[in-house]
């Protein structure tokens, strides 16, 4: 069998177009959703992410603000920036790009963001709302994007055995909480595997849906995957490759070639989950705005 490829580029574009259409309609009523992205320091990957977020915002017809500060920014100054954005009526979503420099307490900064503007869905108020199934929760963009991929590709989660590999706060934990919610895109039986899991390959072999989010290149091999399973690869890892000009290539947490031979559906890397994250950030910003105006 050769797996159907779940195309995150195409679906991400569709979702961004849906958001843009709603934004255009809202403009007629004089309201424009606004997203502020705060970048501290010069991390090249973070700079690239922030650039893509800004571009997506403008393409969706949203108001976009980028706040860029040097690595040496004192924590108190970052908190003051968050306070100012919390009070800015033109801003409906605030994203502080992670990781932050070591001298800044990330937890403290994320707690300072008004939960109503927390488009990352990292604030404990949104985490709590997600767990209890409150539809006004702002949901973390990456796992929320995975749910959209499953829903819009007709992959049944109801009653399915979903195995998540990785228990991070950004992906694994919210992924599990989304999949156990009642209703479409939920109703799954969820197992979360991590570094202490006993016989992880055997657990993964029981999955109808495998979600790999551990940050280890090609960790999920074909022998771990049940024939006909759906495999979602959240990983993005650099591996050395002297045969290409850049000297490296990007691979996921899944050994794509062999797993694609066995699975029924699979997401590629790049071009899978990655583009969905930005699309869901746009969707979250629109949701945040609609919940306050
Ligand atoms: N850095 C890498 N991914 C993310 C994300 O989803 N949100 C934020 N704020 N920073 C990130």
Question: Model confidence over 230-263: pLDDT tens digits?
Answer: 999 999 999 999 999 999 999 999 999 999 999 9
Mutate to test the pocket of ligand 1, among 40, 47, 49, 121 (most ligand atoms within 8 A of CB): 49
Percentage of the chain surpassing pLDDT 70? Answer: 100
Q: Is the pTM of this model over 0.95?
A: yes
> Which residues is 44 bridged to in the sheet?
none
**Contact call for residues 288 and 93 (beta carbons, < 8 A):** yes
Nearest CA to ligand 1 atom 8: 97
Q: What is the mean pLDDT of residues 283-287?
A: 98
Identify the pLDDT of residue 197.
98
Select from 91, 139, 132, 133 the least CA-distant residue to 114. 91
Report helix, strand or coil for 56.
helix
**What tens digit of pLDDT does each residue of 25-61 get?**
999 999 999 999 999 999 999 999 999 999 999 999 9
Which helix or strand (DSSP H or E) is residue 280 part of? helix 273-290
pLDDT (average), residues 88-109:
98
Does residue 55 have an active-site annotation? no
Q: pLDDT tens digits, residue range 155-197?
A: 999 999 999 999 999 999 999 999 999 999 999 999 999 999 9
Q: Name the catalytic one among 117, 118, 120, 287.
A: 120
Query: Separation of 50 CA from ligand 1 center, angstroms?
Result: 9
Respond yes or no: is residue 120 known to be catalytic.
Answer: yes
**Percent residues over pLDDT 90 in the chain:** 99
Q: Which two tokens stand for residue 275?
A: 């583009």
* 178 touches ligand 1 (CB under 6 Å): no
Atom of ligand 1 nearest to the CA of 120: 7
> What's the rounded Cα separation, in Å, for the pair 202 and 225?
9
At 293, the pLDDT band (50, 70, 90 cuts) reads confident
Q: Cis link prior to 270 (omega < 30° from 0)?
A: yes
Q: Give the pLDDT score at 3.
A: 97
Position 185 scores a pLDDT of 98
**What span, in angstroms and rounded, lies between the C-alpha atoms of 128 and 25?**
32
Could you tell me which residues come within 8 angstroms of residue 8 by beta carbon, excluding any fewer than 6 positions away?
Answer: 145, 149, 267, 268, 271, 272, 273, 274, 275, 276
Q: Which of 53, 129, 173, 262 is catalytic?
A: 53
Specify whether 129 is catalytic. Answer: no
Q: For a substitution probing ligand 1, which of 44, 110, 120 has the most ligand atoms within 8 Å of its CB?
A: 120
168 in contact with ligand 1, CB cutoff 6 A: no
- From 170, 213, 273, 280, give the residue whose CB has the most ligand 1 atoms within 8 Å, as the site to mutate: 170
Contact 142, 195 (CB under 8 A): no
Residue 21, C-beta contacts closer than 8 angstroms, at least 6 positions apart:
none
Residue 126 confidence (pLDDT) above 90: yes
In ligand 1, which atom is closest to the CA atom of 277?
6
- Which residues are 69's β-sheet partners? 40
Q: What is the mean pLDDT of the chain?
A: 97
pLDDT of 7 higher than 90: yes
pLDDT for 1 equals 62
């Amino acid at each position: 069998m050769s797996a159907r490829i779940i195309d995150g580029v195409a679906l991400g574009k569709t979702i961004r177009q849906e958001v843009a259409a709603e934004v255009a309609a809202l403009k007629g009523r004089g309201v424009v959703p606004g997203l502020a992205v705060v970048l501290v320091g010069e991390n090249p990957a973070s700079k690239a992410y922030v650039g893509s977020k800004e571009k997506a915002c403008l393409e969706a017809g949203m108001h976009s603000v980028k706040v860029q500060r040097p690595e040496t920014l004192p924590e108190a100054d970052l908190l003051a920036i968050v306070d100012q954005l919390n009070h800015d009526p033109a801003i409906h979503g605030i994203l502080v790009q992670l990781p932050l420099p070591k001298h800044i307490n990330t937890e403290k900064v994320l707690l300072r963001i008004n939960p109503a503007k927390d488009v990352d869905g990292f604030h404990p108020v949104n985490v709590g709302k997600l767990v209890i199934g409150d539809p006004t929760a702002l949901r973390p963009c990456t796992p929320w994007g995975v749910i959209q991929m499953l829903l819009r590709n007709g992959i049944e989660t109801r009653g399915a055995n979903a195995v998540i590999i990785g228990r991070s706060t950004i992906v694994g934990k919210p992924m599990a909480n989304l999949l156990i919610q009642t209703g479409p895109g939920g109703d799954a039986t969820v197992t979360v595997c991590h570094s202490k899991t006993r016989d992880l390959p055997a657990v993964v072999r029981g999955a109808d849906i495998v979600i790999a989010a551990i940050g280890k290149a090609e960790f999920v091999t074909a022998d771990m995957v049940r024939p006909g399973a759906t495999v979602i690869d959240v990983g993005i890892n650099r591996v050395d490759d002297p045969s290409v000009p850049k000297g490296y290539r990007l691979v996921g947490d899944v050994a794509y070639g062999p797993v694609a031979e066995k699975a029924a559906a699979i997401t590629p890397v790049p071009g899978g989950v990655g583009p969905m994250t930005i699309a869901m950030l746009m969707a979250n910003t629109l949701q945040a705005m609609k919940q306050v105006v």
